[in-house]
Amino acid sequence: MYICNDFCEKLRHMNSGNTARGSFGSQLGVILASAGSAVGLGNIWRFPTEVGKGGGAAFILIYLGFIFLLAMPVMISEFVIGRSARSNAIGAFQKLAPKKPWIAAGIMGVLGGFLVLSFYSVVAGWTLHYTIQSALGQLQGPLTTDNGQQPTDFGAAFNAFVSDPWQPILYLAVFLLLTHLVVARGIQHGIERYSKLMMPMLLAIIVLLVAFSLTMPGAGEGIRFLLKPDLSEVTPDVVLGAMGQAFFSLSVGLGCLVTYASYFSHETRLVKSAMNVCIIDTMVAVLSGFIIFPTVFSVGIAPDAGPGLVFITLPNVFLLSFSEMPIVGYAFSLLFYILLLLAALTSSISMHEICTAFISEHFSHSRRKAAAIVTFICLVLGSFCSLSFGPWKEVTLFGRGFFDLFDYTVTKFLMPLGGLLITLFVGWYLDRKLVEQQLTNEGSIPVRTMKPLLFLIRWVAPIGILVIFLNELFPLFL
């Protein structure tokens, strides 16, 4: 069933009086804010970990293919929905498909935004703690204790910190407050302004850290691992892993880009913007590999999965690698954790905005009041997640602690299902004229160039997402 052909004109009139929502002031702001939404902690430690498990360069090549075949079409679909409706993630589906079950995609997005911001801010709080510890020189050693018998145990220090009932919650609260202060200031004066500040800083730090890493003794082995494909390492699991990483790397499927696109101007070129975001996100992920692999290979340590990589393994690497050059080690360590903190903040802002935009528009609250409500809810839920590493470790729901439950619900269900519904909605439900008008900026771009993209949106992306979803649910079956 399709929306009637005159819907495009009606929608334009509906949106003409909706200027009070705010908008991005420049194309650079669009790209940097959207890229900031995609770039997060997963780029810095999840991507290198997946590369390590997937055999290095071969994984990267497969990953790059899926970025542009799978993840980018979902991103463009979110852009189409957001700019067409000029509303929050739920309101967009209400406006484009009134009284239809498609609203489920928007509901999953807003719910996912609350859950992601809650557990993500816990890890971001750990990052804030380690940034401060690094600035104070607490990650510099010594290699042994005063009696020369026992090396610094970063694993024990990390476990003691995350299991503490109060410290992680304090850092969680500070991080959420930082996110809140940006979102509460609005689109141009908050999200766009700070994206223009943070994203260049993030990219500059990455370049500096890559330069540090490539000069380390023994770095060549890590470089070869990243640049020399070994096709014998490619298995069905590696292919599915690359597909999943491409999808989750860009943070598509939760509606944050629907919300951001609702602030795009009519002049913004959706396909070009999506391409630029994908390039920046991929560049950050690959360069992160050039930071981590030469570094850990230089001391003979393979990267671990999960938070242990950045909170246990890498402090040991910094300590061992720069034991004779403490000033260099201090600079490397501090810059690395500042990088993590910036990446965490740019992503958390987009998650916060999903929820803030919905509460502000649906309940007619001011932006500041809506942002305060979101911050408070996520502080409460985040505290539950944090306590699941300590006093509430034995408290479970459906067999999982709060942190694992939130993570599992979002990554295994809400994101893939949301991405699937979004591509089906744009590819099969929305009027073709409306989609083409958005993709071609009302005819300024030739329609024929959009046909391959529409094929990706209608067929390739939904099938790929469905494969990921089924593999997560039934790994033995696939």
d(CA 199, CA 194): 8
Phi-psi region of 102 (alpha: psi -120 to 50; beta: other; left: phi over 0): alpha
Quote the pLDDT of residue 15.
Answer: 54
Quote the pLDDT of residue 316.
Answer: 77
d(CA 336, CA 45): 11
3-state secondary structure of 397: strand
Burial of 79 (0-12, 13-18, 19+ CB in 10 A): buried
Quote the pLDDT of residue 249.
Answer: 80
Tell me the fold of 7-14+27-473: Hydantoin permease (1.10.4160)
Note down pLDDT in tens along the chain; length 478 residues. Answer: 344 445 455 555 555 445 457 899 999 999 999 999 999 988 887 888 888 888 889 999 999 999 988 899 999 999 999 999 999 999 999 999 999 999 999 999 999 999 999 999 999 999 999 999 999 888 765 544 444 444 567 888 899 999 999 999 999 999 999 999 999 999 999 999 999 999 999 999 999 999 988 888 888 888 988 988 888 878 887 887 888 788 778 888 888 999 999 999 989 999 999 999 999 999 999 999 999 888 888 777 766 555 677 888 788 777 777 767 778 888 888 999 999 999 999 999 999 999 999 999 999 999 999 999 999 999 999 999 999 999 999 999 999 999 999 998 998 889 889 999 999 999 999 999 999 999 998 877 876 778 899 999 999 999 988 888 887 777 644 4
Q: What is the dihedral of CA 8, 192, 353, 309, to 10 degrees?
A: 130
Domain ranges of the chain: 7-14+27-473
DSSP string, 217-248: TTHHHHHHHHHS--GGG--HHHHHHHHHHHHH
d(CA 59, CA 227): 10
d(CA 448, CA 362): 38
Question: Measured on CA atoms in the order 266, 267, 273, 274, is the torsion positive or negative?
Answer: positive
